[in-house]
């Protein structure tokens, strides 16, 4: 299964998980079995409140799950309606979050746990919602 992680910077498995899905500068897509890793730039990063289009941001990536530090209720609802399950992590990096996901220790996101607005979610390890960091749009 492909798992999407919103990240603040492309640092491979050490990439910091962003504190908010919609404002993450990029997404890491990881195959949970092979650990194949690719990064895509979030073209919808700068949007108004409630304007996150999560399915457009990860279009064509065949994502079955999203692991986030935080996500807005609208984006969460759109992902769930498309059959994509969303999980919350406190882990600072993809490596930690991936192991927690595989180990079954993450909590599935609910509307009650979703962010009320940008910057109101659980921040990533770097404390930011993901603004101002660099992603390369690929990974070697």
* 8-56: pLDDT as tens digits: 999 999 999 998 888 888 999 999 889 899 999 887 654 444 444 557 7
Whether the pLDDT of residue 113 is over 80: the answer is: no
Q: Which of 32-41, 73-82, 107-116 has the lowest mean pLDDT?
A: 107-116
- Average pLDDT, stretch 119-139? 41
Domain ranges for the chain: 2-113
β-bridge pairing 2-7 and 63-68: parallel
Which of the four CATH numbers 3.40.50.460, 3.30.460.10, 3.40.50.1950, 3.30.420.130 does domain 2-113 have?
A: 3.30.420.130
CB 52 within 8 A of CB 121: no
Give every CB contact of residue 132 below 8 A, 6+ residues apart in sequence: none
The pLDDT value recorded for residue 115 is 65
Question: Between the ranges 3-12, 48-57, 74-83, where is the mean pLDDT highest?
Answer: 3-12
The Cα angle at residue 9 between residues 124 and 99, in degrees rounded to 5: 60
The pLDDT value recorded for residue 114 is 77
Whether the pLDDT of residue 69 is over 80: the answer is: yes
**What percent of the chain stands above pLDDT 70?**
73
């Amino acid at each position: 299964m492909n798992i999407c992680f919103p990240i603040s910077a492309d640092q491979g498995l050490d990439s910091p998980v962003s504190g908010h899905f919609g404002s993450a500068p990029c997404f890491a897509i990881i195959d949970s079995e092979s650990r194949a890793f690719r990064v895509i730039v979030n073209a919808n990063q700068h949007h108004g409140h409630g304007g996150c289009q999560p399915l457009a941001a990860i279009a064509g990536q065949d994502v079955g799950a999203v692991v986030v530090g935080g996500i807005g209720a609208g984006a969460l609802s759109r992902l769930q309606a498309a059959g994509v399950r969303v999980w919350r992590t406190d882990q600072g990096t993809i490596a930690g979050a991936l192991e927690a996901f595989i180990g079954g220790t993450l909590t599935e996101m609910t509307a009650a746990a979703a962010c009320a607005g940008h910057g109101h979610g659980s921040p990533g390890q770097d404390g930011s919602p993901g603004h101002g960091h660099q992603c390369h749009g690929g990974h070697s």
